[in-house]
Amino acid sequence: MTAAATAEKIGWIREAAGDRFDELEINTLPISGPAVITNSPHVFIGTVKDLTRKRVELRERFGISSFLILDLDTLAPVAEELAGH
């Protein structure tokens, strides 16, 4: 669940996909709630502003472009903030 582990896994995918990497949809399951590893790409804890920034950073850093959201009520404000980006 760490950022370092995610970077390693994305590296494997990027290497295997080669020129096709940009065509892939990379997905993660963000968790909203208490967690020990707050900088993990898989943990979403913080303000709407923090989570919006994290979402953008995950796309830029890892190419993660899709998020499976189980708690829509909690993360709806983040989606609204990102609308149009």
Q: What's the pLDDT tens digit per position in 44-55? A: 888 889 989 999
- Do residues 62 and 24 lie in contact, with contact meaning Cβ atoms separated by under 8 Å? no
Q: What is the pLDDT of residues 8-24, one digit of tens each?
A: 999 999 999 999 999 99
Structural tokens at position 34? 């208490």
The 10 Å CB-count burial string (b at 16+, else e) for 18-41 is eeeeeeeebebebbbeeeeeeebb
- Structure pTM? 0.58
Parallel/antiparallel/unpaired status of strands 43-44 and 64-67: unpaired
Q: How many domains does the chain contain in total?
A: 1
Domain span including residue 21: 3-82
